[in-house]
Amino acid sequence: MTVRYECKLDSELLKKAVTELNEPENNDERLEEIDKLRNRFLKEQQEFQLLRSDDAFILRFLRAKKFNQDKAFATLVNYHRKRSEIREVFDKVDDPQQVAHLLDRGGVVPIRQKAKDGSTVIISRIGVNWHEGVTMYDQMAVGIILLEYLLEDESVQINGITQINDYAQAGVHLLKMLSPTIMKRLSGVMTDAMPLRVKVVHMVNEYKIFSIFYAIAKPFIKEKIQKRMRMHGENLTNVHEDVDPKGLPQFLAGTGPDLDVAGWKERLLSTVGHGERTDL
C-alpha cells in the first residue's frame, strides 16, 4: 500500500503554509486536496502519463498555486506538456550527466544564506556557462535540474526562491544564443509549468548588452514576473536589504564563502531524474 503524506512541518512553517498558501492544517483535508488534483489529472486528460503519483509530488503543485485546484491542475498539465514538447531540455533533466560539464562552471548555484523572508537564494552568473557549443536548451536543463532538486524540500515549496542574476560576465555571445523562436518555445517553462514560487529576481551588473537581451526576452516574460524584477546595476544596497551580505560571496559585495560549485555538482548528479534528494 502506498504510504500517504504525513505533515512534519514545524509550527512556524505550517503556520505560513496555512496563512499564505491556504493549505489545510488538518492532514486529512490536505490529503483530500491531493487526491482531488491527482484524480482530476488521471480522469480529465489522456495525453500524458502522470510522471509521479506520490502525494509529495502532487502537493508541490497545490502549494505553488495556493491550493487553487484549477491553477494547480493547469500547472500540472503544463509541466507534463513541456516535458513532452521540449525533449532537448528534459532528456538532459532526466540524465544530468549530459550537462555535468556545465555544473563544473557554477553558473547557477544556491547558497546557504536564506533571504530575509525565508526564501532560498539562487545565484545565476549569466555568461559563465555560455561558450561555443552550449545552447539555451542546455542552460534551461541546468536550471530545471537544480529546481527539481530544491523542490523536494518542503520549505522551498512554501517559502519560495529569491534569484540574483549577475550579468558581469555576459557579452555578445549571450545574444548569439537567443532568438524569438527559441524564447517562445521555452517561454512558460518556469512560470507556467514548474511548481515554483518566485519571490523576487535581482539583476546586478547589467550593462548595455542587457537592454538588447531584455528586449528579446521581455515579450515572453509574464507580467507578474516582470513586476518582481529589480535592476540594480553596480549598487547592491537593495540586494543586501533582502539578503544579508554576510552570506553572499565577495563578487556580490558580500563577506560570505565562495560558491560551493563542487558540492552542488555532487548533489545534483546524485539525484538522477525525479528521485528523492538528499538533505540540503
Question: Which region holds residue 146: left if phi is over 0, alpha if psi is between -120 and 50, else beta?
Answer: alpha
Q: For residue 123, how many other CB atoms are within 10 A of its CB?
A: 23
d(CA 88, CA 94): 11
Give the pLDDT confidence of 54-98 residue by residue, as tens digits. Answer: 999 999 999 999 999 999 999 999 999 999 999 999 999 999 999
pLDDT at 272: 55
Asked if CATH classification 3.40.525.10 holds for the domain at 95-269, the reply, yes or no, is yes
Q: β-pairing, 161-166 with 229-233?
A: unpaired
**123: β partners:** 109, 164
Quote the pTM value.
0.91
d(CA 56, CA 59): 5
Per-domain residue ranges of the chain: 11-85, 95-269
Give the pLDDT confidence of 185-233 residue by residue, as tens digits. Answer: 888 898 899 999 999 999 999 876 677 777 777 777 778 888 888 989 8
Q: For residue 104, how many other CB atoms are within 10 A of its CB?
A: 12
Give the pLDDT confidence of 89-138 residue by residue, as tens digits. Answer: 999 999 999 999 889 888 999 999 999 999 999 999 987 876 667 888 99
CATH architecture of 11-85: Orthogonal Bundle (1.10)
